[in-house]
């Protein structure tokens, strides 16, 4: 009988200890997690907002008290990636936060970290700054023109039937900014808007690591499928 009791106790220890090995942080919700990489993102919740984040990176806990993310829609939950996006054979930590959304609206923030005796913040060039430096535009009642480098894109906007009184003075960028990690490349997709409800397409920025920050490697305009 004694041998059976010892066996049962040993079995319970094997089952229970792993479940308690990574304790949750009291008062915080788990909002994103990678079991494979041992990375967990925690936050407090107030009404429809997550705030006061804590990042558990492989057992090291970092406080991010000023981060915020919407908390009323799982589709817009925080995202974490751990991939080699600068081709240095070392993985980077990428955190994407959603701060607002709606019809034609998506506002995200991104944070990228390397690791050398602790997480080190790596700057990501703002996509609107990149557009302002590299993209020229022109808008008439019939044509939206977007110039990226030596490429000229002309979009016939008449199918959108935008009233002249609703037409913007020029093409507007930034109501929707979406960050993604695709095939180990960091990208940003920015909507191109000509009226409160009229979109002619989007700009896609692919980033590369250069001069100690992530800068635009390429910029491509993709017209709306409806045009």
Q: What is the pLDDT of residue 23?
A: 57
190 SS3 class? strand
Rounding to the nearest 10 degrees, give the CA dihedral for residues 160, 165, 170, 173: -60
- Distance CA(29)–CA(191), nearest Å, equals 32
At 180, list the tokens.
């993604």
- Distance CA(132)–CA(199), nearest Å, equals 18
Contact 162, 194 (CB under 8 A): yes
Contact 178, 188 (CB under 8 A): yes
Indicate if 118 and 92 belong to the same structural domain: yes
DSSP string, 149-174: TTEEEEEE-GGG---GGG--SS-EEE
Indicate if 114 and 131 belong to the same structural domain: no
One digit per residue, the tens of pLDDT, for the chain of length 227 reads 433 333 333 332 222 223 333 458 999 999 999 999 999 999 999 999 999 999 999 999 999 999 999 999 999 999 999 999 999 999 999 999 999 999 999 999 999 999 999 999 999 999 999 999 999 999 999 999 999 999 999 999 999 999 999 999 999 999 999 999 999 999 999 999 999 999 999 999 999 999 999 999 999 999 998 88
- Distance CA(52)–CA(173), nearest Å, equals 30
Number of domains in the chain: 2
Q: Is 29 a member of any domain?
A: yes
Indicate if 144 and 195 belong to the same structural domain: yes
Query: Measuring CA to CA, which residue among 156, 165, 166, 151 is closest to residue 201?
Result: 156
Contact 190, 207 (CB under 8 A): no
Q: Is 178 a member of any domain?
A: yes
What is the percentage of the chain residues whose pLDDT exceeds 70? Answer: 90
Q: What is the pLDDT of residue 17?
A: 27
Q: Is 134 a member of any domain?
A: yes
Which residue, 122, 146, 180, sits at the end of a domain? 122
Q: What is the pLDDT of residue 6?
A: 37
Indicate if 112 and 144 belong to the same structural domain: no
At 168, list the tokens.
């913007």
Q: What is the pLDDT of residue 1?
A: 42
Can you give the residue range of the structural domain that contains 40? 23-122
Which residue, 87, 122, 157, sits at the end of a domain? 122
Q: Is 9 a member of any domain?
A: no
Indicate if 110 and 144 belong to the same structural domain: no
């Amino acid at each position: 009988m004694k041998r059976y009791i010892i066996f049962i106790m040993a079995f319970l220890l094997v089952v229970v200890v792993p479940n308690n090995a990574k304790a949750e942080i009291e008062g915080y919700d788990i909002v994103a997690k990678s079991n494979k990489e041992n990375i967990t993102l925690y936050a407090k919740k107030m009404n429809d907002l997550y705030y006061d984040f804590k990042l558990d990176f492989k057992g090291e806990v970092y406080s991010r008290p000023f981060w915020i993310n919407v908390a009323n829609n799982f589709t817009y939950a925080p995202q974490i990636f751990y991939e080699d996006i600068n081709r240095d054979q070392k993985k980077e930590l990428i955190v994407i936060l959603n701060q607002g959304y709606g019809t034609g609206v998506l506002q995200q923030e991104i944070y990228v970290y390397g690791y050398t005796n602790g997480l080190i913040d790596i700057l990501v060039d703002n996509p609107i700054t990149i557009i302002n430096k590299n993209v020229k535009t022109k808008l008439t009642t019939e044509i939206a023109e977007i110039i990226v480098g030596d490429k000229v894109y002309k979009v016939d906007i008449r199918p959108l039937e935008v009233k002249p009184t609703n037409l913007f003075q020029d093409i507007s960028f930034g109501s929707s900014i979406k960050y993604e990690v695709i095939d180990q490349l960091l990208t940003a997709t920015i909507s191109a808007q000509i009226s409160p409800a009229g979109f002619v397409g989007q700009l896609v920025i692919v980033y590369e690591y250069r001069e100690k920050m992530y800068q635009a490697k390429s910029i491509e305009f993709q017209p709306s499928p409806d045009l």
